[in-house]
Amino acid sequence: MTYTTEFADYNTAMGEIIMSEETTLEVLLSNEFGLNIPEQFSNISPEDWAKYAFENNLEYVITFYKDQKPCATVSNTTLSISIKYYEEKEDVLKVYLSTNFMKGNIDNGFVLYDNNKIFLSQIDRIGGLGQTILFYSQKKKNNVFSEEFTETNGNVELVEQFGTADLSKHWFDVPKDYLDYESLLDYQNLFNQLPAVLDQKSVRTSH
Q: Distance of alpha carbon 1 from its chain centroid, rounded?
A: 20
- Range 178-195 burial, b when 16+ CB lie within 10 A, else e: bbebeebbebeebeeebe
Q: Per residue in 48-75, pLDDT tens?
A: 999 999 999 999 999 999 999 999 999 9
Residues 73 and 119 in one domain: no
- For the chain, how many structural domains are there in total? 2
pLDDT over threshold 90, residue 117: yes
Alpha helix stretches (DSSP H) within 116-204: 182-185, 187-192
Q: Sorting pLDDT into bands at 50, 70 and 90, what band is 206?
A: low
Residues 106 and 130 in one domain: yes
pLDDT of residue 66: 94
Q: Sorting pLDDT into bands at 50, 70 and 90, what band is 197?
A: low
Q: Is 84 helix (H, G, I), strand (E, B) or coil?
A: strand
Residue 131 lies in domain: 94-207
Q: What is the DSSP string of 15-48?
A: TSEEPPHHHHHHHHHHHHHTT---GGGTT--HHH
Residues 201 and 102 in one domain: yes
DSSP 8-state class, residue 109:
B
pLDDT over threshold 70, residue 31: yes
Per the rule left: phi > 0, alpha: psi between -120 and 50, beta: everything else, 151 is beta
